[in-house]
Amino acid sequence: MTSTIDPKTIGQPTKTAKTAHRRHVRTVTGYIPETDASGKEKWPVGDEKVWKEGIPKLTTEVPAITKSVVNHVHTSLARQAYNLDNLGAYQASALSVRDNLLVNWNETQSHYSRKAPKRAYYLSLEFLMGRTLDNALLNLGLKDKYQTGIDKLGFNLEDLLDEERDAGLGNGGLGRLAACYLDSSASQELPVWGYGLRYKYGIFQQLIAPDGSQLEAPDPWLEHDNPWELPRTDVTYPIRFYGHAERLDGMRAIWSGGQEVIAMAYDTMIPGYETKTTNNLRLWESKPKRGFDLQSFNAGDYERAVEASNSAEAITSVLYPNDHTTFGKELRLKQQYFWTAASLADIIRRFKNTDKPLSEFPENVAIQLNDTHPTLAIPELMRILVDEEDVPWEKAWEITTNTFFFTNHTVLPEALEKWPVPLMETLLPRHMQIIYDIIPSASTAVERKFPGDRERLARMSIIEEGFPKNVRMANLACIGSRKVNGVAELHSELVRATIMKDFVDLYGVSKFSNVTNGITPRRWLDQCNPGLSNLISETLKLPKAEFLKDLTKLGVRRVLLSLLPRTMHIADIVMENLQGLLKYVDEPAFQKKWAAVKQSNKERLAHYVETTLGFKINTRAMFDVQIKRLHEYKRQTLNILGVIYRYLTLKDMTPEERKKVNPKVVFFAGKAAPGYYIAKLTIRLIVNVARVINQDPDTKELLSLYFLPDYSVSLAEILIPASDISQHISTAGTEASGTSNMKFCLNGGLLVGTVDGANIEIAEEVGESNVFFFGHLTPAVEDLRYQHLYHPVPIEQKCPPLARVLNEVSAGRFGDGGVYEPLLNTIRQTDYYLLTEDFDSYIQALKLVDEAYQDRIEWIKKSIRTTAKASHRFTSAGMGKFSSDRAIQDYAQEYWNIESTKVE
C-alpha cells in the first residue's frame, strides 16, 4: 500500500487550507515566550545561560569592527586579503554592519511581540531606498569608527560606498517618500513595517542612443548578492489567480482552480537614528508552486517544462511593466494583487498570533495605502474575513473600513487608476464578485442623501460604464478607507474640491484631510551634504543629533497637541534648532564658509560629470537643476525651451553685451516611462540641444547643458547639494506636492517654481523673497484651457519669443526638426499644460534669478535663510515643517493612533 491523491483535488482548497498558511515555523516575528505560574518567561530550549552568553552584542570599537569585517571576508565570501577587491571589501563591510543591525532588529521584534502595540503597515508599490551602507552607519552612529577600521584594512570607505548599487525598488517621489517614512518611523520608535515587491530588475537602466533618444536596458541590481536582505524561506503564502468563484450560502464563496504561485518574503532592516528601534521592510518575490514540470521535460517539451516557472517569476521581474500591451496590463494587475494578498496574509497571521478576536483587528492594525496601487487589499481583506474566517458581511465591512487609510497622490483625473472589468473577472473572479457586493451599500448611501441624483451616482460608482467597463480604484479606496489624505495643502484642497468632491459631500469633510509630505534630514542633509551638516554643527555648537532628529520635540508634542486648538501646528510653538543660523547670516566669515561648502559640492558634481560623461564644467557658473521623472505636467519641455531661448538671446548679443551675462550650467535628469512617447521626445530634444550649445564657441562659456542618464537616489545626493537653483515648474494645480523641492531648500538651493504643490508651503516658511514664482494660478487654469480649445490664438501673436523657439526647433537647428513635431504640436495645438501662457512669466523669473545671483553676498544670505527654515516674517516653523519625522507623527497620531514604543 501507499498514499494516493485524487488528481481532481489538486488546486482545490481543503478544510485546513484556509488557515494553514496563516501559521508558519518560528521566525523573528510573532513569537511570544511562554510564562510559568509566576509570570516569568520560560527559556524555550537548551541551557539559558549558554544561549545568552552566545547572543551577539553590538560591534562598536575599531578592533572588533576590523575583526568582524575580516571574518566575513573569510567565512561569508570565502576570500582572503590576497584576492580582495573593493567590491568584496564592500560586501564584507556591509555584512559586518548588518550584524549590528540584526542585534537591534531582533530586540525590536521581540519587544513588539511582548508589548503587542498597535502596529501600522505601509503598503507601497515603490520603495526608493538608495544606498544602504552609508545610511546604516549614520543611523548607528558608527561611521567614523568604520572609516578608521576600513582604513586599517587598506581600503577607503568612500570607495566602498560607491560599490553599492541603488536598490531597484522604485522610480520617483512616491517611492522615495515611502523610504523616508520608514526611516522616520524607526527613528521615532513607531511600530511600522513596510510591504512591497522585490523586483529582480527594477524599472530599467536608462541609456542614451547616438540620436539622443532614451533606451531601456534591464537594471540587474541583484547581479551581486544583496547583503542587506534576509531570505525568509519559512515565510511563504500561496497566491491564486484565475480559476472560478463558487457562491455558497449568503455572501461566502469558494475560489478554486486557476494558477497558484508562491510569495516568499525577503526582509530588509530599517534602522532608526540614535535608537535601538530597527523596523522592517518585507518584500515579496514570486516563485512557482511546483517549479519544473518534469513530465513535460521527459516528454521532450522543454518550453512547457519551464512555462509555469517563468510565468510565476515574471510577476516580480520588473517594476511597472509597460501597460500599453494586454500582457503588460495583466502583469501589472497581477503584481498588485500578489503583493497585497501576501501582505495581508502576513499581517493577519501576525495578528492572530496575539490570540485576539478579529473584531479587534482595527484596534490593533492600521494599513496605509500609498496611492491606489494597493487598493485590491480592500476586497482581499473582505475575502479573507468572509470566506476564510466566516465573519458576517456587515461585520467584515466594518472591520475593513476602519483598518485602511488612503493617501491620494494626484489631482489629474486621467492619472486615477482603472482596471477593465473583463480583465478583473478573468484574473480575480472572487474579487470582482466582492466589488459588486460592495456597490449596493455604497449606492444606497448616495441615493439616501441625494435622492434621484443619477449623475452623482454614476460619478461615485466603483464601476465606470463604457466599453469595456472599468473598476475605479480611487473610488474603491475612498469608500473602503477610514480616512483619505492629500500630500500638500493645495493638493488636499483640490482633492476635496474636484476629484473627491462627491465623496466629501457624502461623508463630510472630516474624512478628507492633509499630511504634507516630508523628507528625512539624515539622508538629505548629513549623508548627502556632510560639509553643510558639519558647518551647522560647528557653528551652533550642537551635536548633529540635535538638528537631525530633534526637528520636532516629540517629548512635548503630544501634550501640547492635546492643549492646543486643532488649527495650530506644533511648529508654531517649538523653536527649530536650525533657526540659530539666522544669527550668523550677516557675518562675513560665516558667509565665506557657507559659500565654500556650496563650491565644494559643485566641484564634486563636476568631477562626477567629467568621470562619467567626459565633460569639463565651469564650477564658477550658476548651477540650475531639474531632476524629476519625465512628464508633460512637470514641464521639462518648458525648461528646455527656456534654455533654447537663452541660447538664441546670447547669439543675438554683441561680445560686449555677453561679458555682462551670468554664466549658467543647466542639468536635467530623470526617466521617461518606456511607452511615454512625448516624454521620450523631450529627452531627445534636451540631448540634441546640449550638443549644439555646448560646442558653440560664441556661447559655450556662458551656457552649457547636460542630461545625466540613469537618474537615481545616489545621483540626486550629488546633484541636490550642488544646486544654486532648482526648477519645480508644473502647471498650477497638477503637482500633488513634490519632495525634491524640500531637499533642495534644506541644502541651500533656491527654488524657481509655479504656485503649486508644496512650493506654496515652502514659500510660506522660507519667505517669498527666497523663491522665484511665476505663471498663472490654479483658479485660472481651466478657463485658459477652455480658451485654448474654443478661442485659440496663434502662438506668434500670443507669445512671439516662444514661437521663435519652436520655429528654430522645427527648422532643424538642433537636428531633424520633423522628429519633434509631435512634441511641438502639443504646444501649438491644445497646449493642455499652458506653456504658451506661462512662457513670458517664466523667462522673466529667470531674469530675476540672474539679477539676484549677481549680488553674491545677498545670494548667500538667501541660501542661508532657506536652509535655516525661516524668513524675516517667520520665527519658528520653517523647513522643519517638511521633515518626514513631522509627517510620520501626523500619520501616527491623527490616522493610525499608534504610540512610540522604546526598545530598551
Task: Give one DSSP letter per residue of 56-101, joined into a string.
Answer: -----SHHHHHHHHHHHHHHTS---GGG--HHHHHHHHHHHHHHHH
pLDDT (0 to 100) of residue 728: 96
pLDDT (0 to 100) of residue 122: 98
Most confident of the ranges 49-58, 514-523, 697-706: 697-706
Q: Is the pLDDT of residue 577 over 70?
A: no
Q: Is the pLDDT of residue 460 over 80?
A: yes
Q: For the chain, give the longest Cα–Cα distance.
A: 101
Contacts by residues 533-536 (CB-CB < 8 Å, ≥ 24 positions apart): 535/593, 535/594, 535/597, 536/578, 536/581, 536/867
Q: Is the pLDDT of residue 636 over 60?
A: yes
* Distance (Å, whole) CA 315 – CA 819: 35
The rounded radius of gyration (Å) of the Cα atoms in the chain is 28
473-480 helix and 429-449 helix, angle to the nearest 10 degrees: 70
Q: What are the tens digits of pLDDT across the range 616-626?
A: 999 999 999 99
Q: What are the tens digits of pLDDT across the range 878-890?
A: 456 788 888 999 9
Residue of 739, 754, 778, 867 with catalytic role: 739
Q: What are the tens digits of pLDDT across the range 694-745?
A: 999 999 999 999 999 999 999 999 999 999 999 999 999 999 888 899 999 9
> Once rounded to an integer, what is the mean pLDDT over residues 194-206?
93
* Distance (Å, whole) CA 570 – CA 567: 10
Task: Please give the distance of CA 90 from its chain centroid, rounded to a whole number.
Answer: 26
Residue of 72, 276, 409, 776 with catalytic role: 409
501 near 474, Cβ under 8 Å?
no
Q: What are the tens digits of pLDDT across the range 399-431?
A: 999 999 999 998 888 788 999 999 999 999 999
pLDDT (0 to 100) of residue 453: 93
* Residue 17 banded pLDDT, cuts 50, 70, 90: very low
pLDDT (0 to 100) of residue 668: 98
- Across the strands, what pairs with 838? none
Q: What are the tens digits of pLDDT across the range 271-302?
A: 999 999 999 999 999 998 876 655 655 666 56
Query: For the chain, how many residues are written?
Result: 904
Q: Is the pLDDT of residue 558 over 70?
A: no
Give the torsion sign (CA, 672, 678, 684, 688). negative
DSSP letter assigned to residue 596: H
**Amino acid identity for residue 677 in this structure:** Y
pLDDT (0 to 100) of residue 321: 82
Most confident of the ranges 286-290, 505-509, 558-562: 505-509
* Distance (Å, whole) CA 891 – CA 877: 19
**Amino acid identity for residue 609 in this structure:** V
> Once rounded to an integer, what is the mean pLDDT over residues 22-31?
47
Percent of the chain with pLDDT over 90: 74
547 near 521, Cβ under 8 Å?
yes
Q: Kindly report the backbone phi and psi dihedral angles of residue 339, in degrees, each rounded to the nearest multiple of 5, phi listed first.
A: -70, -45
Higher-confidence residue of 186 and 526: namely 186
Residue of 634, 671, 881, 886 with catalytic role: 634
Q: Integer distance in angstroms from the first to the last C-alpha of the chain?
A: 58
743 labelled catalytic: yes
Q: Which three cell numbers stand for residue 452?
A: 434621484
456 labelled catalytic: no
- Across the strands, what pairs with 420? 470
Using DSSP, state whether 321 is helix, strand or coil: coil
Q: Is the pLDDT of residue 338 over 60?
A: yes
- Across the strands, what pairs with 370? 407
Q: Which three cell numbers stand for residue 658?
A: 555677453
* Distance (Å, whole) CA 313 – CA 316: 6
Q: Is the pLDDT of residue 320 over 90?
A: no
Task: Please state, as a whole number, how many other Cβ atoms lie within 10 Å of the Cβ of residue 139.
Answer: 27
* Residue 563 banded pLDDT, cuts 50, 70, 90: very low
132 half-sphere exposure, CB direction, 13 A CA radius = 27
864 near 594, Cβ under 8 Å?
yes
**Cα distances (Å, whole numbers) of residue 27 to 57, 118, 218, 267, 761:** 20, 20, 33, 11, 44
Using DSSP, state whether 664 is helix, strand or coil: strand
Domains and CATH numbers, the chain: 53-115+140-165 (no CATH), 119-130+171-514 (3.40.50.2000), 588-868+876-882 (3.40.50.2000)
559 half-sphere exposure, CB direction, 13 A CA radius = 5
Q: What are the tens digits of pLDDT across the range 65-90?
A: 999 999 999 999 999 999 999 999 99
- Across the strands, what pairs with 196? 283
Task: Please state, as a whole number, how many other Cβ atoms lie within 10 Å of the Cβ of residue 518.
Answer: 28
220 near 695, Cβ under 8 Å?
no
- Across the strands, what pairs with 728? 753
764 near 664, Cβ under 8 Å?
no
**Cα distances (Å, whole numbers) of residue 183 to 132, 199, 280, 549, 853:** 11, 21, 10, 11, 36
Nearest residue to 637 (alpha-carbon basis) of 787, 779, 825: 825
DSSP 731-783: PTT-----SHHHHHHHTTPEEEEES-TTHHHHHHHH-GGGEEEES--HHHHHH
26 labelled catalytic: no
167 near 300, Cβ under 8 Å?
no
Residue of 629, 680, 728, 886 with catalytic role: 629
Nearest residue to 686 (alpha-carbon basis) of 715, 707, 701, 666: 707
Instruction: Say what the alpha-carbon torsion angle 226, 230, 231, 237 is, to the nearest 10 degrees.
Output: -130
pLDDT (0 to 100) of residue 559: 33
Using DSSP, state whether 472 is helix, strand or coil: strand
* Residue 20 banded pLDDT, cuts 50, 70, 90: very low
**Amino acid identity for residue 824 in this structure:** L
282 labelled catalytic: no
Q: Which three cell numbers stand for residue 451?
A: 435622492
Q: Is the pLDDT of residue 18 over 80?
A: no
Residue of 544, 628, 881, 886 with catalytic role: 628
628 labelled catalytic: yes
* Residue 557 banded pLDDT, cuts 50, 70, 90: very low
* Distance (Å, whole) CA 615 – CA 608: 9
* Distance (Å, whole) CA 191 – CA 340: 20
Higher-confidence residue of 45 and 206: namely 206
pLDDT (0 to 100) of residue 34: 77
Spell out where 202-250 has E strands: 205-208, 214-217, 229-241, 244-247
616 labelled catalytic: no
Q: Kindly report the backbone phi and psi dihedral angles of residue 772, in degrees, each rounded to the nearest multiple of 5, phi listed first.
A: -105, 95
Q: Which three cell numbers stand for residue 903?
A: 526598545
Nearest residue to 416 (alpha-carbon basis) of 448, 371, 461: 371
Residue of 549, 743, 776, 788 with catalytic role: 743
pLDDT (0 to 100) of residue 562: 37
Nearest residue to 888 (alpha-carbon basis) of 402, 339, 521, 482: 521
Using DSSP, state whether 470 is helix, strand or coil: strand
Q: What are the tens digits of pLDDT across the range 365-387?
A: 999 999 999 999 999 999 999 99
Q: Which residue has the cell 513607531?
A: 190
**Amino acid identity for residue 376 in this structure:** L
pLDDT (0 to 100) of residue 634: 96
